[in-house]
């Protein structure tokens, strides 16, 4: 199957494209997009991969599925398009960056600038039906995105994995903690963050310290 994706990722994931599950997945996604409103726009489904080539990845941030309201999702976990109000989780991410690094809260919630520096903003499920969180969770996306995590785990080292919340932390078994830095915390959503375990973890400075210790440039969060 010819999938429109950045070439280095396409090479890494080529084996997935010809598996029966992937054909079933793409057929189901086409049907969903044809029958109802879904997000992100079709051309942005693989945006996380297209903006952050395999060999450029420094940091992996795993989300669950895209935002499901109009104008928000554009294929990057936790990110919203320019001009869109910050969802509560993103507000808390920016607050913690301000507390940790002293960086002011930005004017936009568009995290393309992170992706272009090597932050893979990967949702476990890459599509969603409008107004229905997790509506595409059973289509088979996780098999595909788990294959991407495994490709990084086997082919790269000295990466920083930021696993926020129980769902993302459930991916940690795929990652070699001796060869990478794994930062786990509660989810930045208000329900979790306000109970403790999100603020004051200094994840963003710890990430940058690790990158610099391994000869890599830090992320301008």
Measured CA distances, 196 to 78, 189, 201 (Å): 20, 11, 10
DSSP letter string, 62-93: EESS---STTT-SSSTT---TTSPPPHHHHHH
Q: Check if 65 is active-site.
A: yes
Buried b (16+ CB within 10 A) or exposed e, 177-215: eeebbbbbbbbbbeebbeeeebbebebbeebbebbeeee
- Point out the catalytic residue in the list 65, 82, 100, 176: 65
Active site residue ranges:
65
């Amino acid at each position: 199957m010819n999938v429109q994706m950045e070439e280095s990722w396409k090479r890494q994931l080529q084996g997935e494209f010809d598996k029966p599950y992937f054909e079933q997945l793409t057929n189901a996604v086409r049907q969903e997009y044809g029958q109802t409103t879904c997000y992100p726009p079709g051309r942005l489904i693989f945006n996380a991969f297209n903006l952050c080539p395999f060999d450029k990845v420094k940091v992996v941030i795993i989300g669950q599925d895209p935002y499901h309201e109009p104008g928000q999702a554009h294929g990057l976990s936790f990110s919203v398009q320019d001009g869109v109000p910050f969802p509560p989780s993103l507000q808390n991410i920016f607050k913690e960056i301000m507390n940790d690094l002293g960086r002011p809260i930005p004017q936009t919630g568009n995290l393309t600038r992170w992706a272009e520096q090597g932050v893979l903003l990967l949702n476990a499920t890459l599509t969603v039906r409008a107004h229905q969180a997790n509506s595409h969770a059973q289509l088979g996306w996780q098999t595909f995105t788990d294959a991407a995590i495994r490709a990084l785990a086997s082919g790269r080292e000295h990466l920083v994995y930021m696993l926020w919340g129980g769902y993302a932390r459930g991916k940690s078994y795929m990652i070699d903690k001796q060869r990478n830095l794994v930062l786990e915390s509660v989810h930045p959503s208000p329900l979790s963050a306000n109970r403790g375990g999100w603020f004051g973890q200094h994840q963003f400075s710890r990430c940058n310290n690790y990158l610099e210790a391994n000869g890599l440039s830090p992320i301008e969060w």
